[in-house]
Amino acid sequence: MVKKRPGKYRSARTSSKKRRKATEKVSSQTLLVDNLLVFLAGRTEPVAIGQILQSLDLPRNQRKPLKSILDGLEKRGKVERRSQKYLLAGDSGLLKAKVDMNSRGFGFAIVEGSQAGQKDPYIARAHLNGASHGDAVLIRIIGTSRGRAEARVVKIVKRGIVKLCGIYFSGRKTGYVTPDNDRLPFTVLVRKSNNLGARDKMAVLVEINDYGTDGRSPEGRIIEVLGDPNTAAVQIRMAIEQFELPAVFSEKVDREVRLLEPLTSCDRERKDLRHIEHVTIDGETAKDFDDAIAVEKTNRGYTLYVSIADVSHYVKTGSAIDVEAYRRGTSVYFPDRVIPMLPERLSNNLCSLVPDEDRPAFTAILEFNAKGRRTGERFCKSMIRSCQRFTYTTVRKILYDRSAGERKSYRPLLSMLESGGELAALLHQRRMDRGSIGFNIPEADIHLKNNKIDSIQRAERNPAHQLIEEFMLAANEAVAETMDKKNRPVLYRIHERPDPEKVDLFTEAATSMGLQLPRTEITPAWFAGVIQEAENTPAEYVINNLMLRTMQQARYSPENAGHFGLAAEYYLHFTSPIRRYPDLVAHRVLQNMLAENTQTRVQILPEKAKLEEAGLHLSKRERVAVDVERNTQARLSALYLLDHIGEKFDGIISGVTSFGFFVELLETFISGAVAIRDLSDDYYIYDNRAHKLIGELSGTTYQMGDVVRVRLDHVDMISKKISFTLAT
């Protein structure tokens, strides 16, 4: 027995070596297959084995193994053979994708051409192969886990980020830049000769010259010193750079804009509506007025005029202005500036419906009965003349506060505004009755003063906002219904039904907060009922936010799928062509419909763009705008709290996890987290079904919807993460 043990030991060791060698052989063969497929992916013509050997730097004795691999790939449909030469087949197993990194070091592959709702493959840190956020890559699916595909990066096709913002830390001979974006898990080495005189801890813009290999850090040069990162202007600039928003228009666009002549005469194709008492109603700081309204009371009910700036008169399809507007897709708004879709001369002048100036427009003339039901609609190209620029505050004082002074000041327009208030109330009630979801999510209004954040508070929303919203919704629905019934190709604004799994999770969370939810079909009316039940309770804010996350993202599509949130069968965007390109598309389609018997038809999209592609592109541009505005709010919120370390605040628990809970401050709507490790009075257990933390000894609970008092402990300006502890 004793003599056999060494033999057994040697046998086990030999077996282990064989397994290791076999694994290494499989690994090297997999690498060879990947290199081979990557090489063929860049070829348009078939190549011979000899050329493949030379290009992959393989010795001649690898010809036979390579031929064997190629034969196997051919049998599996990965490559095609043409006269002893090889070409990549359609199903090569490699997918084109874009890397979306997570701050914890792993990523996801946004696969080119993937279907809506399809889960992005997961890429573990070990399988990134040097890829970083935003890189265009080739990936291979290597397995699945928890219902999601797992992938490995085979090749980096193109770097997504060649310049970035960050904080510069200086050294004696070299310095480095820590990226301001926590999804970039590296620092950039900057030699002293390339630091542009940047001082320690300054915000800079750095260009990456070399991404580095074999564990070597990327290296770059500073191309601009932005300044003190603890100022609002610099943080906003960093957000703009992070999302690569265009700062200026090209000289070609500027030249076209300079040559534009204002249209002030009403030609034959336009209806003269200058006698109609149009008014604009916007915020105090608004500069671009793209919608004007007028309401007349009739024997049968009401006539609503919604007149929208005729941007298409100036922005001709395929012009440099048009191509750039399509590329941008939308305007992006910041507390101190706007990055517009159109140059300022168009957005704030030629296309802006300013008072006492003739302006070309598209007008929807909508008839309603005394109960607010639409009974007719007409559309025309028009010439209007706004007679008053109102603010929401002024209209609120006139119609809802019934201010004697304001009503006296605007007596000539009082009757029109009163009729507008009546019609808006009827339209709102009809919309609620059909099940439209009335989200009530307050927004933070950030005020800057002398490059400092003066205050962050709840943005005012009064009934005058609702009045304009109802009229814009009515016009959008009327245009959409007309387009659908006349079978006109256009971009609809669609909002599909929520994922049933997400609805189940929402129902579970709402029930845990004490709401009694009816067991009926999940419709817009059901969600509207949940909001109504939560109204005026501590859980109202959380319920509205959870519901919003449950919904699918609205998007643009040539296929009319209706709008779930609005409970609308027909919907598109028509009312804001100064700041949204899909509205400009709707105007061009409407113009073609009106000019059906003439020769003045126009192309609706820039050359080569298809409607389906435009829907995808413009939906993406809208999401970028939303992301950059959220990013800016997070930056400025963190910056605002830097001066409040140690102070106490009231907040509401907006989410509970196994590692703690999130708190939204009641006054400023700034979100932060309380870590479970800082709950030192007890050992807390996470109940994932009830969405609460429960103290094992005391029974103390923390759950969504609870109001708590917290103390600000830490602000991380790189990650924009805010840490609280419970106040005593």
In this predicted structure, which of 183-187, 475-479, 677-681 has the lowest mean pLDDT? 183-187
In this predicted structure, which of 187-201, 213-227, 267-281, 287-301 has the lowest mean pLDDT? 213-227
Q: How far apart are the first and last CA of the chain?
A: 70
| Strands (E) located in 112-261 | 122-123, 136-145, 148-158, 163-169, 174-179, 188-191, 203-210, 219-227
Domains of the chain: 14-88 (1.10.10.10), 94-158 (2.40.50.140), 163-229 (2.40.50.700), 251-496+552-633 (no CATH), 645-726 (2.40.50.140)
Q: What is the pLDDT of residues 618-658, one digit of tens each?
A: 999 999 999 999 999 999 999 999 999 999 999 999 999 99
Report residue 674: phi and psi, to 5°: -110, 120
- Average pLDDT score, the chain: 90
Q: Which residue has the tokens 């003599």?
A: 3
- pLDDT at residue number 256: 98
Please tell me the distance from the alpha carbon of residue 491 to that of residue 557, in angstroms, as a whole number. Answer: 5
pLDDT at 19 over 60: no
- pLDDT at residue number 706: 92
Query: Average pLDDT for residues 540-564, to the nearest whole number?
Result: 93
In this predicted structure, which of 509-513, 573-577, 628-632 has the lowest mean pLDDT? 509-513
Please tell me the distance from the alpha carbon of residue 558 to that of residue 235, in angstroms, as a whole number. Answer: 38
In this predicted structure, which of 225-229, 254-258, 453-457, 539-543 has the lowest mean pLDDT? 539-543
Return the percentage of the chain with pLDDT > 90, whole number: 66
Q: Are 370 and 307 in contact (CB under 8 A)?
A: no
Please tell me the distance from the alpha carbon of residue 436 to that of residue 416, in angstroms, as a whole number. Answer: 27
Q: Look up residue 141 and give its two tokens.
A: 């699916």
Nearest to 545 by CA among 509, 520, 496: 509
Q: Look up residue 153 and give its two tokens.
A: 């990066």
- pLDDT at residue number 237: 96
> Which three-class secondary structure state does DSSP give residue 600?
coil
Query: Average pLDDT for residues 465-482, to the nearest whole number?
Result: 97
Q: What is the pLDDT of residues 239-298, one digit of tens each?
A: 999 999 998 999 999 999 999 999 989 988 899 999 999 999 999 988 889 999 999 999
- pLDDT at residue number 524: 93
Please tell me the distance from the alpha carbon of residue 241 to that of residue 162, in angstroms, as a whole number. Answer: 11
Q: Look up residue 379 and give its two tokens.
A: 């559309």
Please tell me the distance from the alpha carbon of residue 441 to that of residue 547, in angstroms, as a whole number. Answer: 10
Q: Look up residue 324 and give its two tokens.
A: 């750039």
pLDDT at 363 over 50: yes
Q: Beta partners for 250? A: none
Please tell me the distance from the alpha carbon of residue 182 to that of residue 132, in angstroms, as a whole number. Answer: 12
Q: Are 204 and 198 in contact (CB under 8 A)?
A: yes
pLDDT at 458 over 50: yes
Q: What H or E segment, with its residue span, contains residue 54?
A: helix 49-55
Virtual CA dihedral for 56, 60, 64, 68, nearest 10 degrees? 0
Query: How many other CB atoms are found less than 10 A from the CB of residue 644?
Result: 13
- pLDDT at residue number 91: 56
pLDDT at 2 over 80: no
Q: Are 260 and 350 in contact (CB under 8 A)?
A: yes
Q: What is the pLDDT of residues 24-44, one digit of tens each?
A: 444 567 777 877 877 777 676
Q: Are 109 and 156 in contact (CB under 8 A)?
A: no
Q: What H or E segment, with its residue span, contains residue 22?
A: helix 4-41
- In angstroms, the Cα distances linking 611 to 323, 560, 570, 582 are 15, 13, 18, 10
- pLDDT at residue number 10: 42
Residues near 693 by beta carbon (within 8 Å), at least 6 away in sequence: 656, 660, 661, 676, 679, 684, 685, 686, 687, 701, 702, 703
Size of the chain in residues: 728
Which of the 8 DSSP states describes residue 587?
A: H
Query: Average pLDDT for residues 366-385, to the nearest whole number?
Result: 97
- pLDDT at residue number 539: 81
- In angstroms, the Cα distances linking 688 to 516, 660, 703 are 19, 12, 10
Please tell me the distance from the alpha carbon of residue 709 to that of residue 714, in angstroms, as a whole number. Answer: 16
Query: Average pLDDT for residues 368-385, to the nearest whole number?
Result: 97
DSSP string of 323-384, one letter each residue: HHHHHH-B-EE-SS-EE-SS-HHIIIIITS--TTSEEEEEEEEEEEETTS-EEEEEEEEEEE
- pLDDT at residue number 116: 61
Q: Is 671 exposed, middle or buried (0-12, 13-18, 19+ CB in 10 A)?
A: buried
Q: Is 430 exposed, middle or buried (0-12, 13-18, 19+ CB in 10 A)?
A: middle
pLDDT at 474 over 80: yes
- pLDDT at residue number 214: 64
Q: What are the residue ranges of helices labelled H in 202-291?
A: 232-242, 251-258
What is the pLDDT confidence band of residue 119, given thresholds at 50, 70 and 90? Answer: confident
- pLDDT at residue number 512: 86
Q: Is 659 exposed, middle or buried (0-12, 13-18, 19+ CB in 10 A)?
A: exposed
Q: What is the pLDDT of residues 105-114, one digit of tens each?
A: 899 999 887 7
